[in-house]
Amino acid sequence: MSDWTGVLRLGTEARDGKTIANDVYFQGAFKVMRPVYHDDSGQACYYILNPGGGYLDGDRYQMKISLEKQAKLTLTTQSATKIYKTPQSHAYQEAEFHLKEGSYLEYIPDPLIGYQNARYKQKNVIYMEKGCSLLYSDIITPGWSPEGEKFSYDQLQLINEIYMDEELVVYDHIKLNPGSQNMEGLGLMEGFSHLGSMMVIDEKVNHDLLDSLYQALPTNSFECKIGLSLLPVPGFTVRVLANNTQVIEKIFSELHSILSQEWFNKKPSFLRKY
pLDDT averaged per 10 residues in sequence order, the chain, 274 residues: 87 96 95 93 94 92 98 95 96 98 97 96 98 97 87 97 97 95 90 97 92 87 91 96 95 94 82 59
Asked if the structure places residue 249 within a domain, the reply is no
Asked if the structure places residue 25 within a domain, the reply is yes
Asked if the structure places residue 89 within a domain, the reply is yes
Asked if the structure places residue 73 within a domain, the reply is yes
Q: Which string of DSSP letters, residue by residue, matches 200-231?
A: EE-TT--HHHHHHHHHHS--S-SSEEEEEEE-
List the Cα angle 108/104/216 in 5-degree steps.
Answer: 60
- Domain count of the fold of the chain: 1
Asked if the structure places residue 232 within a domain, the reply is no
Asked if the structure places residue 218 within a domain, the reply is no
Buried b (16+ CB within 10 A) or exposed e, 39-49: eebbbbbbbbb
- 87 phi-psi bin (left φ>0, alpha ψ -120 to 50, beta other): alpha
Residue 75 structural domain: 6-195
Q: Which string of DSSP letters, residue by residue, matches 133-186?
A: EEEEEEEEEEPP-TT--S--SSEEEEEEEEEETTEEEEEEEEEE-TTTS-TTST
List the Cα angle 211/109/236 in 5-degree steps.
Answer: 25
Rounded CA separation 29/44 (Å): 23
Please name every residue paired with 195 in a beta bridge, in sequence order, or none if there are none.
140, 241
Query: What does the pLDDT read at residue 1?
Result: 45
Computed from CA positions of residues 150, 155, 156, 157, in that sequence, does the dihedral angle turn out positive or negative?
Answer: positive
Pairing of β 104-108 and β 133-142: parallel
Q: Cα Rg for the chain, rounded, in angstroms? A: 18
* In contact, 253 and 218? CB cutoff 8 Å: no
Query: What does the pLDDT read at residue 2?
Result: 62
